[in-house]
Amino acid sequence: MNATPDTDAPDHSITSVEQLEALYGQPKGGAVTKEIDYISDHYKAFIEKAPFVVIATGGPEGLDTSPRGDPAGFVRVDGNHTVLIPDRRGNNRLDTLKNIVRDPRAALIFLIPGVGETLRVNGRASITTDPDLCESFAINGKPPKSVICVTAERVYFQCQKALIRSRLWDPEARVDRSTLPTAGDIIEALSTDGFDGKAYDEGYPAYMKEVIY
């Protein structure tokens, strides 16, 4: 039996900026000072030490986030306003790239192992296939097919609270991979064509060596 909604119950939804500001107050001090519209030398140092970045984009189908990783320094700072990200071989879904060609707005968050602060870059992205530029990002003789260029409009670091709360870099907080379903398990469960998840998992390490670059 369905309960009758209580139409007299108070509505606790937040639906306006004014409500948010009344609840949380205004940012001040370093929370405001740390945001700039260019890549400073301090922020450049963070980018050059980061082996991992998440790209957020949006398109007609909605929003998307996608990870990118390589040896630290793989994201190149070009001047004070641009970062260059090689687009390595992937699964050809092209979610990020499709979004960029239709809506250039993009946001990046850089993570450095062992470091509590993260760096955020918001701006506009484009894609280039300039052969010389792609070749300059080659690893093992394999250049990326394209390079994502992000022109920074807002740059700032995020304090350590989230990573401290999550214990992200704490070795004792690591999760045993065997407690989760494998990639093969997931694909097999979702497939209707007799996909062999066990064979997929067993062959994946060798496959990865062939296609990682």
| Number of domains the chain contains | 2
- Residue 2 is assigned to a structural domain of this protein: no
Same domain, residue pair 192 and 100: no
pTM: predicted TM-score of the whole model, two decimal places: 0.91
- Residue 10 is assigned to a structural domain of this protein: no
- Residue 126 is assigned to a structural domain of this protein: yes
> Is 147 in contact with 133 (CB distance < 8 Å)?
yes
- Residue 89 is assigned to a structural domain of this protein: yes
Same domain, residue pair 182 and 122: no
Same domain, residue pair 120 and 162: yes
pLDDT at 207: 94
Task: Flag residues of the chain having pLDDT under 70.
Answer: 1-7
Same domain, residue pair 108 and 67: yes
pLDDT at 4: 67
Same domain, residue pair 79 and 127: yes
Same domain, residue pair 182 and 207: yes
Residue given tokens 């992937």 in the structure block: 90
Same domain, residue pair 110 and 88: yes
Q: Which domain holds residue 190?
A: 175-211
CATH of the domain at 66: 2.30.110.10
pLDDT at 5: 64
Report the candidate in 98, 48, 97 with the shortest Cα–Cα distance to residue 74: 48
Same domain, residue pair 75 and 99: yes
pLDDT at 3: 63
How do residues 84-111 score in pLDDT, each as one tens digit?
A: 999 999 999 999 999 999 999 999 999 9
Same domain, residue pair 199 and 106: no
pLDDT at 1: 53
Same domain, residue pair 78 and 146: yes
Same domain, residue pair 36 and 63: yes
Q: Which of 166, 184, 202 is the last residue of a domain?
A: 166
Alpha carbon 147 to its chain centroid, in Å, reads 16
Alpha carbon 201 to its chain centroid, in Å, reads 25
How do residues 52-74 score in pLDDT, each as one tens digit?
A: 999 999 999 999 999 999 999 99
Burial of 20 (0-12, 13-18, 19+ CB in 10 A): exposed
- Residue 179 is assigned to a structural domain of this protein: yes
Same domain, residue pair 155 and 189: no
